[in-house]
Amino acid sequence: MRRGAGLAAATGVAAAATVVGSRLVGRALVGRTEARLCVTTNPPPYRASDRAHALHETLWVADLHADSLLWGRDLLERSERGQVDVPRLVEGNVALQVMAATTKSPRHLNLELNDDRSDDVVLLALALGWPPATWRRLLPRALHLAARADDLAARSDGRFRVIRSRDDLAAYEAARSLDPRLTAGLLAIEGAHALDGDPAAVEVVADAGFRMMSPSHFFDTAFGGSAHGIEKGGLTAAGREMVRRMEARGMLVDVAHASAATIDDILAVAVRPVVASHTGFRGVADNSRNLTDAQTRGIAETGGLLGVGFWPTACGGDDAAAIARAIRYAVDVAGVEHVGLGSDFDGAVPVPFDASGLVVLTDALIDAGMSDDEIAKVMGGNAQRLLADVLP
Ligand SMILES: [Zn+2]
């Protein structure tokens, strides 16, 4: 072997080792951040009444929002971090978990006022070794996260699948009625900044399998204002085009995090059901992120769904009883057909249990005086019905 070639090979090995080493360090840093931000107040195992266990086993449970794709964990493995992975979804009898792509998140994010100049997700992308295309642009980040979900499904031995169509849903329901240890995901985008400013990119994300999207996340976008933005304005012309294109492709328009003006504009132009994937109610916890009763009723009137949040500034407390109270409030305002779950699992907020502990919520809903039929609707029956209706 020539001396130079040997040296080059050795340098290559060293470089590869550095990349692998920095990737390991990056993963460890992201893992530490996830553990710090995504707190489960009561870790497993969970206790519930016999009646709750018996009822929970019969439910088709669906949750409208989790950020589990973001953190780089292998979701096939049960983790002590965060709240969602395939084993915990199965243990919690979760039939469907909406998995959101968060593509940009400002530093020092807060409920009141954020601009779009900082970007914490790029740090995550670098630390986790996402493809270079994701470093500057946001659409490739969404597509990367969709690919992660597909990769998870491909490696899962059939235990996890991504639902994209009515036919997918029907086939999955049939399979799951024979084997309840199956689970599934539905792809969503948290904030239309993921379209890199181009409403026509709705076609790209729809082709990738995304079936839900909100106009904004923590900052105002080219499409609409955020409840946490600077201007907090309404839907823009590009935002109206986005809504039209989404509805034509069977995507659900999600008003979670939207400014009040944008929510009102969406309710005025939408001709299909609108959702608030993870939300709270001002009548329960009065802050700018939460919905007024009029907005809550407006969403119900579209035939849509309100995903009740599990974190304190949404449900007004830090236990399952508080979530059950918020659910009862939503049912009173919107009607029982229009209420579902919007945990925000793995979303950098504290929650009282992880996905394996959803029976605790079933128990709290029994204690709150809801009937088995009402509980079945709220825990996922309504989401199942809505998806069967709107999916392409
Ligand atoms: Zn969110």
Using H for helix, E for strand and C for coil, what is the string for 75-122? CCCCCCCCCCCHHHHHHCCEEEEEEEEECCCCCCCCCCCCCCCCCHHH
CA distance 159 to 185: 11
Element (H, E) at 321: helix 320-334
d(CA 92, ligand 1 centre) in Å: 22
d(CA 256, ligand 1 centre) in Å: 7
d(CA 19, ligand 1 centre) in Å: 32
CA distance 336 to 375: 9
pLDDT value of residue 316: 97
d(CA 79, ligand 1 centre) in Å: 22
d(CA 217, ligand 1 centre) in Å: 7
pLDDT value of residue 20: 62
d(CA 244, ligand 1 centre) in Å: 23
Q: How deeply is 68 buried, as exposed, middle or buried, from its count of CB atoms within 10 A (0-12, 13-18, 19+)? A: buried
**DSSP single-letter state for residue 251:** P
CA distance 8 to 20: 18
d(CA 327, ligand 1 centre) in Å: 18
pLDDT value of residue 19: 60
d(CA 190, ligand 1 centre) in Å: 7
d(CA 300, ligand 1 centre) in Å: 20
Asked if residue 75 lies in contact with residue 68, where contact means CB atoms within 8 angstroms, the answer is: yes
- Give the angle 54-56-58 at the CA atoms, nearest 5°: 80
pLDDT value of residue 11: 47
Strand blocks (E) in 103-204? 160-162, 183-190
Task: Tokens for 181, please give them.
Answer: 């240890």
Residue with tokens 């009173």: 332
Task: Tokens for 261, please give them.
Answer: 């003006």
Position 159: which residue type?
Answer: R
Distance, first Cα to last Cα, the chain:
60
Asked if residue 259 lies in contact with residue 226, where contact means CB atoms within 8 angstroms, the answer is: yes
| Omega prior to 45 cis, within 30 of 0 | yes
d(CA 212, ligand 1 centre) in Å: 13
d(CA 332, ligand 1 centre) in Å: 24
pLDDT value of residue 243: 98
Task: Tokens for 63, please give them.
Answer: 């949750």
Strand blocks (E) in the chain? 61-66, 94-102, 160-162, 183-190, 210-213, 252-254, 274-279, 305-308, 339-341
CA distance 42 to 63: 19
| 355: helix, strand or coil | helix
CA distance 103 to 141: 6
| 131: helix, strand or coil | coil
d(CA 222, ligand 1 centre) in Å: 18
d(CA 257, ligand 1 centre) in Å: 7
Task: Tokens for 277, please give them.
Answer: 């994937």
Which residues does 173 contact at the CB level (< 8 Å), separation at least 6? 60, 384
Tens digit of pLDDT at every position of the chain (392 positions): 444 444 444 445 555 555 666 778 888 888 888 888 888 999 999 999 999 999 999 999 999 999 999 999 999 999 999 999 999 999 999 999 999 999 988 887 788 888 888 888 888 888 888 999 999 999 999 999 999 999 999 999 999 999 999 999 999 999 999 999 999 999 999 999 999 999 999 999 999 999 999 999 989 999 999 998 989 999 999 999 999 999 999 999 999 999 999 999 999 999 999 999 999 999 999 999 999 999 999 999 999 999 999 999 999 999 999 999 999 999 999 999 999 999 999 999 999 999 999 999 999 999 999 999 999 999 999 999 999 999 99
Tell me phi and psi for residue 298, to 5 degrees. Answer: -60, -40
pLDDT value of residue 89: 98
Beta bridge partners of 340: 307
d(CA 60, ligand 1 centre) in Å: 23
d(CA 67, ligand 1 centre) in Å: 8
Query: CA torsion, points 302, 321, 278, 39, in degrees to nearest 10?
Result: -170
pLDDT value of residue 27: 85
d(CA 102, ligand 1 centre) in Å: 8
